[in-house]
Structure 1
Amino acid sequence: MNRQAFLPIDKEDMNIRGWTQLDFIIVSGDAYVDHPSFGTAVIARVLEDAGYKVGIIPQPDWRSVKDFKKLGKPRLAFLIASGNIDSMVNHYTVSKRRRDKDYYSPGGKMGLRPDRATIVYCNMVKQAYKGVPIIIGGIEASLRRFAHYDYWNDKVRRSILFDSEADLLVFGMGERQIIEIADNLNNGFDIKYMHHIPGTSYKADTLENIYDYIEIPSFEEVSENKVAYARAFKVQYEEQDPFRGKVMIQKHGEQYIVQNSPAMPLSRVELDRIYNLPYARDYHPIYEKEGGIPAIEEVKYSIISSRGCFGSCSFCALTFHQGRTIQSRSHESIIDEAKKIVEDKDFKGYIHDVGGPTANFRQIACEKQLKEGTCKNKQCLFPNPCKNLNVDHEEYIQLLRKLRKLEGIKKVFVRSGLRYDYIVADKNDNFLKELCEHHVSGQLKVAPEHISSKVLDLMGKPRRDVYEKFVSKYYKLNEKLGKNQYLVPYLMSSHPGSDLHAAIEMAEYLRDIKYNPEQVQDFYPTPGTLSTCMYYTGLDPRNMKPVYVPKDRMEKAMQRALLQYRNPKNYNLVRDALLLAGREDLIGYGPKALIKPKDGERSKEYKKKKNNMRETKGNRLERKDNKKAPSRKHTKKRK
């Protein structure tokens, strides 16, 4: 593809356009892919559409300032993001082992971005050019705007605004904010006084001129006291609504982090305009010789139809980032994008996906949200669907039908997450029927995550009976349609609240449905989620009740192994887990057994092994207790 279809990444590209200086330079931890699924491309095209000259420095070498100077000094500001994925999540598994592939780098090569990329890039830009405004955004900055628990260091870190020394932080989906910031800068407004823009956070030396705010426990308090951390998080979580959310402040030493209320949702017209911008819809040609960018493969022929999610799963950061208010594109906009996809020379006739965070959320949950915002202490679907919830798939059905009829399209798949409880709540089965008949490629992926009620309640997920109702409907409809299509459930081990007994309950369920999961996701404590707060504090911030948290490495390995108990490699872990939990009844030859006993092993040997294991476990827990932080009582005395 011609380089002129892309925004400049070097001086040669600038010369082709006749540009001598850029207004904005975006520094990104990802390779440059000019596609609306990539945040860097969206922000760059939105700024270009507003009349600004924009260039991109993708994956600069952070060991020197050379790459940070390759496009010269921008007239207005540097915009810095780690990429589509948090750089620490991108680099490390939940067991903190280094990953061997980076899907957002050429050829999947690792090592082309630093750990904590946002902070590192800011430091290098400051070395390259003194006094140029620096604005940070994207998922890494957005979820670290307050003091936050950092899983990789196992401690509470300051707001990323302090560690990066950036001038301004954009949180959430940043199109509306970045245009207002750009226009203010262009009109000569100093960034150090830019404190009025919704969807941004900034540092302040004083609370003068800040009104109607909520102050949450300080960095120092949340670092020392887990109860204070949980209280602070609860307020942050409750105020993430553009209609009713208040300004929040958090003291860090002698300064403050100030978060303005979230940006208002984009209208359908605004969203349509963003997705109709002239994206090249591919990776930059410089990556061709290195094998391209793997991350484009799944999304190149996919269409984003909506943003936001009112599902509010505890382990998901969407509430903190995109928000709970649904924003969707028009049918016309989506169809226009589908026609562009059909024109691609490599397109084979298959649209891989039409969806968003949750594919079957195409409208706001209820009319009240348009005037008053989302409910502060109530969820739309959990523990049961709200009586005001608008459950209707008809508009989505019509959209999928229109796409199926387009010339050049053989099949339209739906592979984004689907909320099966929302499908079950629908009064008719029209959507599920059409989904099974036209939009499933042999198997449908859904996310029950767990089966234990105590775990599901902490996850904010529907109970087991709702999932089983969906499963029954799904298979009955497929049988009626004469299709042999399966369900692939996503499962999670070691979530807060899950002990060995809950993991065994899940293993028994998998035994009964005769399903052997190929993959199981261990809970990953990333910033900005309720579940991460539970993991760090051992408290549910919504009610301050204690939560069991599996942190012991061996126990986590056991829980994971139990969900894949049929794998011979997991035999010893499963056996040890069953003995430790007192479930020797599941070791045997009967239909209810999970594993067979070892050759020649007898029940008295089980008992001896179990007692030894319990003693070892007890000693390990006792050692942990001795290392625990002082109790709340002692903490108060010390203060």
Structure 2
Amino acid sequence: MNEFLPISIEDARARGWDELDFIIVSGDAYVDHPSFGTAIIGRVLESRGYRVGILAQPDWRSEEAFKALGRPKYAFLVGTGNIDSMVSHYTAAKKRRSQDSYSPGGKAGLRPDRALITYCNMIRKVYKDVAIVAGGIEASLRRFAHYDYWDDKVRSSVLLDSGADIIVYGMAEKQIVEVAEALASGIEAKYINYMAGTVCKISDIGYLSGECIEVPSYEQVCESHEKYAQAFKLQYDNQDPIRGKVLVQKHGSTYVVQNTPAMPLSREELDEVYRLPFARTYHPSYEKMGGVPAIAEVKFSILSERGCFGSCSFCAIGFHQGRIVQSRSHESILEEAELMAGDKDFKGYIHDVGGATANFREPSCKKQLRVGTCKNMQCLYPKPCKNITVDHSDYLSLLRKLRAVKGVKKVFIRSGIRYDYLMADKDRKGILKEICSHHVSGQLKVAPEHISQNVLKRMRKPGGDIFKKFVDEYEKVNKELGKNQYMVPYLMSSHPGATLSDAIELAVYLHDSGLYPEQVQDFYPTPGTLSTAMYHTGIDPMTMEKVYVAKSYEEKAMQRALLQYRNPRNHNIVVKALKTAGRFDLIGYGRECLVRPLREEAGDSKQGERKSKTGKSGDVNSRTKGKNDKARKRRR
């Protein structure tokens, strides 16, 4: 096994080090695997000759905990782990989670709320003038003034709240090396204000004149939903490394400056990162605590690409990883598969080969690396762009090679297929046939999210018709193969734009199609997404149109329950939702009904049935049939 990075002074001294150049503070337990940002940043810096230590989940209430590795020569690098600390701690209903899969034994409570701010403030308290570089998902998505769902208010840039000197946003391998080189050359952190992929704070923007775009200030976005929407649109439009501009947002007398995004890694650079000497598991000190549960999902999975040109409104990948897809070479991926096959715990199954979207391997069109992504157009919404390159041949070739690796029995795809991209391929039947033959473990996971066009247009997802066609194709292919395989749809309730009627439309579709979702996600407003901007403002920043937003607990509960109307626990609330929407035609005993009446109402209904059999109310059945016929027509 490869050697872990030091987590104690004793570890550092064993390497002959009396001082560390950089100390990475993380809200996650230390897992030395390329699926964990802490491990990647640590290994990248180590490969450049820097002495790096890991301070994982320090006790934020203790100054001594932050002195455990001493004062670094150059800087503390602070992140909160693979997930935003607030998302890690709370459900969409703001209820405290009982487990944390990124902590030893799955124990909750080993990191604070708003961990980035807490960690940085404690470091500043202990070491007054040390350089602090913030990074990771929490810093990246909160780099501007942003709506905070948990406080239900707009908070200022986390750069200011944390007291860090600089933020490296995005995936950050390039910029962290540049920042390290600048610090090592003697440049003070406060003067590192020029690098792509970083955010800094300054008091005078005179030197940026003519080279930047000033977005509405923190004070303005706090006071006005329209200004917030405008600010978000400017941020959204400038996340491209080629055509993006420097953005400036004033906070009082201080300016927060986002330099242009860093260029994505080339294939060779990405391969270099994944060839670094990761131990590929959690630190052995966690063994007695039950290990770190998060490793189970990724230990035998392979990340083959980054970035996503899908641009779904509710997803922050475009804001963090970017829209330009980057992928690893077949050789790099096969090397990782061979490493897996040699692991004593490997049972022959590669759980996943993918990333943000499994079947994306290249930028959506050839011009993206030359002129950048389109500013006012999406690659797949409302339909695939005429310039998009739709080609699954490289991905299928990779899967075939992986199936041939000695010791590999099966290669699954669990990170999700972008079905509209697949359906745009002329050979979609052949692709589906190969995927269903070799890469589905009885269930294929896809994410239509919704079926109502009213909701999908706010999600920036394709129309429901394309999903219905995909379901038909999938069923036909499995029938031809003689396989009894199912589809598991991921669905979202209460997304901005979604009304009770939209939820009912989706429930009716699920009823008629025979699909039943195992998981339904109530929309979770997290920083950095277009959907969160809509949730907060009631405005679509792309069009400045007003958007309906379900915010009451009762309506959100009704929308969620409708998508799992078969669950007996949801019966009463589904009946209430249908009555609220005036859809009495969906309550009853007929095949077209979603649920039966409430128990106290059922007696009246059955009494009516008995009367009809005795002839006392002979026209009841015909009247009911007529109403049901009309209901079917309305539903169609």
TM range (shorter): over 0.9
Residue in 1 that maps onto 2:463: 463
Q: Tell me the amino acid that sits aligned with residue 123 of structure 1.
A: N
What corresponds to 2:42 in structure 1? Answer: 44
- Give the TM-score normalised by structure 1: 0.93
Would you say 1:537 and 2:537 are equivalent positions? Answer: yes
Please give the per-residue CA displacement for 1:256-300, whole angstroms capped at 9, x wherever unaligned: 100000000111110000000000000000000011000000100
> How many residues are paired up?
603
CA gap 1:196/1:599 in 2 versus in 1, 3 angstroms: closer
Q: Give the direction of change, closer, same or farther, for the CA distance of 1:599–1:195 in structure 2 (3 Å limit).
A: closer
Find the counterpart in structure 1 of residue 475 from structure 2. Answer: 475
Q: How does 1:325-344 map to 2 (within 5 A)?
A: 325-344=324-343
Q: How does 1:82-481 map to 2 (within 5 A)?
A: 82-211=80-209, 212-429=211-428, 430-481=430-481
- Partner amino acid, structure 1, of 2:153: K
Query: Once the 2 structures are TM-superposed, how far is the Cα of residue 515 of structure 1 from its aligned partner?
Result: 2.7
- Deviations along 1:215-247, one digit per CA (max 9) or x if unpaired, are 000000000100000000001001100000000
The aligned amino acid for 2:497 is G
How far apart are 1:519 and its partner, in Å? 2.0
Alpha-carbon separation, structure 2, partners of 1:297 and 1:259: 36
Q: Deviations over 1:154-211 (max 9, x none)?
A: 0000000110010000110010000000011111111111111000001010112214
Cα distance in 2 for residues equivalent to 1:83 and 1:109: 15
User: Take 1:570 and 1:219, find their aligned partners in 2: how far apart are those partners?
Assistant: 42
SS in 1 for 2:590: coil
CA RMSD in angstroms comes to 1.2
- 2:33 is aligned, of 29, 32, 35, to 35
Which runs of at least 4 in structure 1 moved beyond 3 Å after TM superposition? 602-605
Residue type of the partner of 1:89? V
Task: Identify the residue that residue 495 of structure 1 maps to in structure 2.
Answer: 495
Q: CA, structure 1 residues 602+350, in 2 after alignment: closer, same or farther (shift >3 Å)?
A: closer
Looking at structure 2, the residues matched to 40 and 531 of structure 1 have their Cα atoms a distance apart, in angstroms, of 28
Q: Which letter maps to 1:432?
A: L
> How far apart are residue 484 of structure 1 and its match?
1.1
* Other structure's SS at 1:360 match: coil
Q: Secondary structure at the match of 2:206?
A: coil
Q: CA deviation at 1:595?
A: 1.2
Deviation at 1:432, TM superposition (A): 1.7
What one-letter code is carried by the residue in structure 1 that aligns with 2:134?
A: I
Distance in 2 (alpha carbons) for counterparts of 1:125 and 1:13: 21
Once residues 482 and 504 of structure 2 are traced to their aligned partners in structure 1, the CA distance between those partners, rounded to angstroms, is 35
Corresponding residue SS for 2:208? coil
What amino acid sits opposite 2:174 in the alignment? R
Letter in 2 for 1:555: E
SS of the aligned residue for 1:444 comes to strand
Q: Please, what TM-score do these two structures have when normalized by structure 2?
A: 0.94
The aligned amino acid for 1:290 is M
Q: 2:608 maps to which residue?
A: none
Task: Give the AA of the match of 1:512.
Answer: D
Task: Name the structure 1 match of 2:616.
Answer: none
Tell me how far apart the structure 1 counterparts of residues 556 and 222 of structure 2 sit (CA, whole Å): 26
2:390 partner letter: V
Correspondence for 2:525 = 525
Secondary structure of 1:5's match?
coil
Give the 3-state SS of the residue equivalent to 1:209 in structure 2. Answer: helix
Q: Is the 8 A contact 2:488 2:518 kept in 1?
A: no
Give the 3-state SS of the residue equivalent to 1:88 in structure 2: helix
> How far is the alpha carbon of 1:603 from its aligned partner?
12
SS for the counterpart of 1:556 is: helix
- Percent identity among equivalent residues? 65
Looking at structure 1, the residues matched to 516 and 379 of structure 2 have their Cα atoms a distance apart, in angstroms, of 32
The structural deviation recorded for 1:600 is 5.5
In 2, Cα distance between the equivalents of 1:48 and 1:235?
Answer: 37
